[in-house]
Amino acid sequence: MGEFLGLGSSLKDSTVLEDAKPAEGSGGELFIKVIGAALIRDTEALGKMDPYFQITYNGEVYKTKVISEGGKNPQWNESFDIEIKSLQDEIKFTVYDEDSMTNDLVGERLFKVRSICQAALTQRTIPLIYQGKRSGDVSIETSFVPEAERKVLYELPSKAPLPDNELFEQ
């Protein structure tokens, strides 16, 4: 079974991240592009849902825009950069239907952040759960830069000295 933690579900995650090779180390920067969703659960009796996607990590909340009348196939195409403290932390993905009184939960998924922290740009589908049943899938792209690599990238000198040869003499 994959790295996902069930939300009261017996749904197996073998089709999602079974082949993923998590990054090593303690933290870094996770880039997530939320592409869209194919939702099964519809919270609206009349009309279409107004869905948005939410990421919760380490007390921080990242939200996409609400897709008015987005229905069961919203397309967000929004990106987030998340500072990861530990690959052992949990991250939660949630889709809500925005309503005037209260937002309705469409589905959610809680899992170890390490399961989506691969260095290469990776597109994947994450199944969402509502009350123990699959409520849809969300499509994302992720890439991860470990802390050690970020330090190397950010510590490069901003002005490199010019080479000492006749091509650059004036």
Mean pLDDT of 86-93: 95
Each residue of 99-143: pLDDT tens digit?
A: 988 999 999 999 999 999 888 889 999 999 999 999 999 999 999
Residue-wise DSSP of 21-66: -PPPSS-EEEEEEEEEEEE-----SSS---EEEEEEETTEEEEPPP
Q: Which residue has the tokens 């609400």?
A: 66
Q: What is the dihedral of CA 56, 120, 22, 20, to 10 degrees?
A: 100
Amino acid occupying residue 57: Y
Domain boundaries, the chain: 4-154
Q: pLDDT at residue 6 above 50?
A: no
The top-level CATH class assigned to 4-154 is mainly beta
**Other CB atoms within 10 Å distance of the CB of residue 109:** 24
Q: How far apart are CA 93 and CA 108, in angstroms?
A: 5
Q: Rounded to 5 degrees, what are φ and ψ at 83?
A: -75, 115
**Which is more confidently placed, 169 or 72?**
72
Strand residues in 64-103 grouped as ranges (E): 75-84, 90-97
Q: How far apart are CA 51 and CA 11, in angstroms?
A: 23
